[in-house]
Amino acid sequence: MNHSDTLELSLQLLRQPSVTPVDHDCQNIMADRLAKIGFNIEKLRFEDVDNLWARRGTENPVFCFAGHTDVVPTGHLDAWNSDPFQPTIRDGKLYGRGSADMKTALAAMVVASERFVAKHPDHKGSIAFLITSDEEGPSINGTVKVVETLEARNEKMTWCLVGEPSSTNQLGDIVKNGRRGSLNAVLTVNGKQGHVAYPHLAENPIHLASKALNELCETVWDNGNEYFPATSFQISNIQAGTGATNVIPGHLKVTFNFRYSTEVTAEILQQRVLEILDKHKLNYDISWTFSGLPFLTPVGELVNAAKTAIKGVTGVETVLSTSGGTSDGRFIAPTGAQVLELGVLNATIHQINEHVNVDDLEPLAEIYEQILVQLLT
């Protein structure tokens, strides 16, 4: 196999305009390659979402590569220096939508598996792929449904490596061994509309809520722990008023989010918010939506295999982190699998002119292959 295997497959995947939830043809391209080296291919479509479960072997332990073929929309095409779905190499960088998040990682996973199987056709346990086209969207018919399907037939993953772009300054410098939980709320504070000249005949919900909102902003929810930073509370939207300067609004709508550590639960946060709102005697309605539980993979076989592989290939001493947004790891971790995220640099994800360093592609495939060697030989 030549040096450019990972690049060639990356280019093939990047040419597919797979804007979420459309897979276009990415999973078929991957499945064809995996079928040739003895993977059993299972295509699981739920509603408008394509998912792939591929497995080589029937025994435990099961090492699973997980990831997504869908990408976020491109934004204005004229802002890109080249067509986002015509991958282009300039100055050692590969440009294209999905280059960092995360089609190059998918290519590296396939190539790593091909090389590993060629050298170790009788490896122990099983290698699996869990690929979805619904990670960038609502995440309702993707990984979560595949996990439900596997759980229903008691098919378990031992270790799961998610190919999300985890690196910051150089390949492998950071791996994510957990993620914070995410909890959203929309709070409506009810007042009474009226004329600004007659405030005694109205109830201004902005004024009524201001002390409570300030207290929510000032509250220390926890102090985090060795793996997680302290829980953060952020208001992302506030809406009130008719647009007129002389009308006291009748309602105030506030949208906020918690990114929380394993020191608290969603239930604890909800209860503490309600206590603060009630203390300030507000007339309110609140609705909660839950984006994901926090998860954590402590140092163990998977973390150690990744650290050793990264050190061996790049010479980098990797650092464990739980920062950043959510990932599909949140659906896999509750099954009991050890979950880790390891991929290319994340500096340009979701941006105009998204790109990766071409020189990182082969080392990433090598790291993935070395992790397989440590866990399945």
How far are the Cα atoms of 192, 210, 215, 315, 332 from residue 189, in angstroms, in the given order? 10, 10, 15, 55, 37
What would the mean pLDDT of 304-315 be, rounded to a whole number? Answer: 98
Is 91 annotated as ligand-binding?
no
Length, in residues, of the chain:
377
Compute the chain's Rg from CA coordinates.
24
pLDDT (tens digit, 9 = 90+) per residue, 229-280?
999 999 999 999 999 999 999 999 999 999 999 899 999 999 999 999 999 9
From 23, 70, 328, 354, the catalytic residue: 70
How far is 375 from 177, CA to CA, in rounded Å? 17
Closest CA to 260 of 369, 346, 165, 185: 185
Position 1 scores a pLDDT of 40
Phi, psi of 125 (to 5 degrees): 65, -150
For 195-206, the pLDDT digits (tens) are: 999 999 999 999
Would you place residue 293 in the very low, low, confident or very high pLDDT band (cuts 50, 70, 90)? confident
Question: Treating both helix axes as pointing N-terminal to C-terminal, what angle do 361-376 and 5-14 enclose, rounded to 10 degrees?
Answer: 110
Q: Residue 293 phi/psi, 5° resolution?
A: -75, 150
| 350 assigned to a ligand binding site | yes
Write down the catalytic residue from 5, 50, 134, 135: 135
Residue 136 is labelled as binding a ligand: yes
Confidence at residue 243, expressed as pLDDT on a 0 to 100 scale: 94
pLDDT at residue 2 is higher than 50: no
Residue closest to 110 by CA, chosen among 365, 372, 370, 377: 365
In 3D space, the residue among 143, 317, 320 whose CA is nearest the CA of residue 225 turns out to be: 320
Report CA-CA distances (Å) from 347 to 76, 314, 344.
20, 19, 9
Return the exposure string of 355-364: e unless at least 16 CB atoms fall within 10 Å of the residue's CB, then b. Answer: bbbbebbbbb
Prediction pTM value? 0.85
Confirm or deny that 195 is annotated as ligand binding.
no
68 annotated to a ligand binding site: yes
For the stretch 131-163, pLDDT in tens is 999 999 888 999 999 999 999 999 999 999 999
**What confidence tier does 303 reach under pLDDT thresholds 50, 70, 90?**
very high
Reply yes or no on whether 70 is catalytic.
yes
Q: Burial letters for 293-325: b for 16+ Cβ neighbours within 10 Å, e otherwise?
A: bbbbbeeeebbebbbbbbeebbebebebbbebe
Q: Which domains does the chain have, with CATH numbers?
A: 5-179+294-376 (3.40.630.10), 181-292 (3.30.70.360)
What is the pLDDT at residue 3?
56
Please give the pLDDT value at position 226. Answer: 87
| SS3 state of residue 85 | coil
DSSP 122-171: T-SSEEEEEEES-SSS--SSSHHHHHHHHHHTT---SEEEE----BSSST
Q: Please list, in sequence order, all residues whose beta carbon lies within 8 angstroms of the beta carbon of residue 254, skipping any fewer than 6 positions away.
A: 186, 187, 188, 189, 209, 213, 235, 237, 238
